[in-house]
Structure 1
Amino acid sequence: MYREILTDLINWKNKDRRKPLLLSGVRQCGKTYIIEKFAQDNFKNYVYINFEKSERIAEIFDFDLDVKRIITEIGRQYKTDIIPGKTLLFFDEIQECPKAITSLKYFCEDLRELHVVCAGSLLGVALRQQNISFPVGKVNRLQLYPMNFKEFVIANDRSDLIETLKNWTTDREIPKLYSEPLTKLLKEYYIVGGMPDVVKAWIKNHDYEEVEEIQNEILSDYADDFAKNAPISEFPKIRWVWDSVPVQLAKENNKFVFSHVKEGKRAADLEDALQWLNDAGLIKKTELVVTPELPLSGFTDKTYFKVYFSDIGLLRAKSKVSPETIINETELYRRYKVAFTENYVLTELISRGKEPYFWRSGNTAEVDFLYEQKGNIIPVEVKAADNNQAKSYKQYCKKYTPAKGIKLSQKNIGENLCESTPTFSIPLYLAWNIDAY
């Protein structure tokens, strides 16, 4: 399936000052598949080492970190020549071999002409928990996320919709010829999400029961990761926090509150569990910006944040909201519809390279997301329906006069002008093209 990160991988391959590449991403988001696809299309051969499955290979790194000796011994084990410029060397689940992580420094310094890629599902957790000598400044880094909506549309054989709308005139409404299939696909994306195995099953059979079965298997695998990789003392706390995220996100004031996770528990009891989930890539925190000035990271209240899932489909499955509920959009689904829509926009912004925050003025006004773009702060108002009344957004614009802004809702395209801020109103299904506005 098409993944946008392939372009980034090719750019990395052709860099003059290329370093070993560290590819991070939540478990089962497609890291191994995409590197193998990249290798097959761009190299004469590649060597794949999974340190989780091939534990004995780690012994090659025990003697010393002479990278020429290392690749000679690896080549002998796999009965192939490892040739700089022609071979891709792929270390998978590298967190299982700390010395292999350390060796990246020497691959960078002594054998930079060899293309080396590393991946790890729980690398963030491992680096925090283990005493690993990380090669700071000696690696390039990329992050792979679950499939975004654009990739989902292309996987559903509707790349024509993407091609048609990517250069669409910004003041022209979108006719039903395009809006209706995109609206349908967006509902399906809320149900299926972007985990590649789930998307693959959906494309093949269009069976919601099969989709939910695979999603529940992934959620069970994540729970097994908690038990296997988390400190024993943190395991139950991680489960409590994980179970609490969908419920708290659906609250009207969806600030994450530690005391709502488990009765009698406070932030000091649960902060490490929340950080574990964040390091594992399973959740994403967005912090409150008190004063929207550049850089946004310098004006946050780190004690006041929201928590989202990394994948909208897994959030839907974890919340036990049926596919029929999303398709029919019943009124009883109103609160979770808002939560799902916010989570969808959050993951779309992240997949576009944004670092989202949010703004709130007491309990009276809130702008869902803020991000930096070429020296500007872009406010993004998110509406789950076609109601485009946005009092909080207008209050923000009046107070801070941003240069431009975005409203995402079910309404068709249009340009609405606040008193001081040019604001594009675009459909939710165009969040992937937000930079065009």
Structure 2
Amino acid sequence: MLTRKVENRMEAWLSAPKRTALLITGARQTGKTYIIRYFARKHYEHVAELNFIENPELVSIFSKPRDVENLLMRLELAVDVPLVPGRTLVFFDEVQQCKEMVTAVKFLVDDGRFDYMLSGSLLGVELEDMRSVPVGYLSELDMYPLDFEEFCWSQGVGGNVFDMLRGCLAGRKPVDGFVHDRLMDLYAKYLVIGGMPAAVDSFVANGSISDVRTIQENIKREYRRDISQYAKREDRLHIRGIYDLVPSELNNPNKRFTFAKVDKGLRFQTVAADFDWLKAAGVAIAAYNVDEPCVPLEMSKERNLFKFFYNDVGLLTGSFLKKTALDVLDGNPDVNYGSIYENAVAQELHAHGFDLYYYNSKRFGELDFLVQDRNDRVLPIEVKSGKSYKRHHAMDNVLARPEYHLGTGLVFGPCNVSVEGVVTYLPIYMAGLVENA
């Protein structure tokens, strides 16, 4: 059983004074169904699970609900477990196949006899045009691949280690040398295995990288099938082309996505919706270029200039030759870790609530990432993979400009914690500890 942070938020939902239905969203294969089943067994005497893909006849049963009594009658006829008020969880899985269920859950919550959880993939795509959302009746949690901390838990690392790391980060103190070396070794494993639960489970069970790579390729095949099934027919080839080009585009020096690689002479306006589809499906992450590195970042972003990342660094590394993956695992210094490190940092920041931007200026250079926290502070971030991690001209340039009001910057790399002037150097494994305060 993999321990997931989302379980704490599910516990908070369960103990809230006003109960809502709980919708767990996220890309396919991130562990949504598994965590709901585990949570349900832990907290409920009876669990009624309805899967709209495995049992497509359920779609017609629940697609035209009339009122709560009619809904409950249909529910009783559709399940084979007792529905006991106050002791039963009803779990609607793969609800993207029955969008009406998401709106109808309002009536069931109002009735109050049972608790309800919903889950599904591609909800950002399939529910985009939904006519009404049951505001006040539906709580939503996003689920992502395992972050590095969760991965370390799967490898037997206790929570006290990350408590110590948070203390080192807050106090800007170096991590103990032995702990640092151990975590760098684990991070190399994480870069290859990634955070998809099936891949992590497989590695925990037998330690086989070959099995992990097979699982990763199967997940990507499933994503491609989703494109074929759910995307508009006229967009499918472009969307698949974009998804398959991500690894090679990240290996370009500036990592910016080139539209002409998808189709010769292609303009951004033609494929803008295709990039949005991959983001909405949760299988890709975008970082947009901004005109100026200052608040509000969203106002100065350029829609047609961006970097595109996979939602899981293991899927990226799994796209490379097996020898490259093994070299990463062994910490071979000859490997170009730039795109791998950057994808891993993008994944961590995105999963911890940050919208991602970057800054590229002929005058000042390029900053790998800019993030803006809830207090409207902008933080410039550089990701370095080699020994020259203290060379960061772009960051020095923008930090020296008082009109940007940046104050401080972060550099993630193969280093320990240290501070020089207004720049803090952090080990690459600390990327997930940056708080969106």
* TM exceeding 0.5: yes
Displacement of 1:382 in angstroms is: 1.4
Contact 1:376 1:403 in 2 (8 A): no
Q: Deviations over 1:305-345 (max 9, x none)?
A: 111110000011123363222134556532xx111111101
> How do 1:236-385 residues align onto structure 2 when only pairs under 5 Å count?
236-320=237-321, 322-330=324-332, 333-334=335-336, 337-362=337-362, 364-373=364-373, 374-385=375-386
Displacement of 1:369 in angstroms is: 1.5
Displacement of 1:259 in angstroms is: 1.2
* Closer/same/farther in 2, CA of residues 309 and 62 from structure 1, 3 Å limit: closer
Displacement of 1:436 in angstroms is: 10
Question: Match for 2:369: what amino acid?
Answer: F
Contact 2:216 2:315 in 1 (8 A): yes
* Closer/same/farther in 2, CA of residues 64 and 173 from structure 1, 3 Å limit: closer
Matched with 1:153 is 152
- The yes-or-no answer on 1:396 pairing with 2:398 is yes
For the residue of structure 1 that corresponds to 2:335, the secondary structure is helix
Contact 1:65 1:106 in 2 (8 A): no
Contact 1:18 1:140 in 2 (8 A): no
**Distance (Å, rounded) in 2 between the aligned partners of 1:106 and 1:320:** 52
Displacement of 1:71 in angstroms is: 2.7
**Distance (Å, rounded) in 2 between the aligned partners of 1:40 and 1:241:** 40
For the residue of structure 2 that corresponds to 1:190, the secondary structure is helix
For the residue of structure 1 that corresponds to 2:318, the secondary structure is helix
Contact 2:399 2:407 in 1 (8 A): no
Question: Match for 1:404: what amino acid?
Answer: T
Moved more, 185-194 or 264-273: 264-273
Matched with 1:2 is 3
Q: Deviations over 1:338-391 (max 9, x none)?
A: 111111011111222222211222364122222222231122221112422211
For the residue of structure 1 that corresponds to 2:406, the secondary structure is coil
Q: Report the identity percentage.
A: 26
Displacement of 1:78 in angstroms is: 2.0
* Closer/same/farther in 2, CA of residues 3 and 371 from structure 1, 3 Å limit: same
Contact 1:101 1:134 in 2 (8 A): no
Question: Match for 1:142: what amino acid?
Answer: L
**Distance (Å, rounded) in 2 between the aligned partners of 1:371 and 1:112:** 41
> How do 1:181-192 residues align onto structure 2 when only pairs under 5 Å count?
181-192=182-193
Displacement of 1:87 in angstroms is: 2.0
For the residue of structure 2 that corresponds to 1:186, the secondary structure is helix
Which of residues 116, 132, 135 is equivalent to 2:133? 135
Matched with 1:217 is 218
Displacement of 1:402 in angstroms is: 1.6
Displacement of 1:235 in angstroms is: 1.9
Question: Match for 1:408: what amino acid?
Answer: F
Question: Match for 2:414: what amino acid?
Answer: Q
Q: Identify unmatched segments of 5+ residues in structure 1.
A: none
Displacement of 1:229 in angstroms is: 2.1
Question: Match for 2:149: what amino acid?
Answer: K
Displacement of 1:112 in angstroms is: 5.3
* Closer/same/farther in 2, CA of residues 82 and 297 from structure 1, 3 Å limit: farther
Contact 2:193 2:314 in 1 (8 A): yes
**Distance (Å, rounded) in 2 between the aligned partners of 1:434 and 1:64:** 45
Runs of 4+ in 1 over 4 A off after TM superposition: 328-332
* Closer/same/farther in 2, CA of residues 64 and 429 from structure 1, 3 Å limit: closer
* Closer/same/farther in 2, CA of residues 184 and 216 from structure 1, 3 Å limit: same
Matched with 2:227 is 226
Displacement of 1:122 in angstroms is: 1.5
- The yes-or-no answer on 1:37 pairing with 2:41 is no
Matched with 2:430 is 430
For the residue of structure 2 that corresponds to 1:244, the secondary structure is helix
Question: Match for 1:133: what amino acid?
Answer: R
Contact 1:259 1:267 in 2 (8 A): no
Displacement of 1:62 in angstroms is: 4.4
Number of residue pairs the alignment of both structures matches: 428
**Distance (Å, rounded) in 2 between the aligned partners of 1:50 and 1:156:** 32
Question: Match for 2:153: what amino acid?
Answer: I
Contact 2:63 2:101 in 1 (8 A): no
Which of residues 407, 410, 433 is equivalent to 2:411? 407
**Distance (Å, rounded) in 2 between the aligned partners of 1:175 and 1:198:** 30
Q: Deviations over 1:235-278 (max 9, x none)?
A: 22122111111111111111112112232332233223222212
Displacement of 1:12 in angstroms is: 1.7
**Distance (Å, rounded) in 2 between the aligned partners of 1:162 and 1:427:** 13
**Distance (Å, rounded) in 1 between the aligned partners of 2:204 and 2:116:** 33
**Distance (Å, rounded) in 2 between the aligned partners of 1:47 and 1:262:** 47
Displacement of 1:105 in angstroms is: 3.4
* Closer/same/farther in 2, CA of residues 10 and 306 from structure 1, 3 Å limit: same
**Distance (Å, rounded) in 2 between the aligned partners of 1:264 and 1:330:** 39
Question: Match for 1:120: what amino acid?
Answer: G
Question: Match for 2:127: what amino acid?
Answer: L
Contact 1:20 1:112 in 2 (8 A): no
> TM-score of the superposition, structure 2-length normalised?
0.91
Question: Match for 2:338: what amino acid?
Answer: V
Displacement of 1:114 in angstroms is: 3.9
Contact 1:104 1:135 in 2 (8 A): no
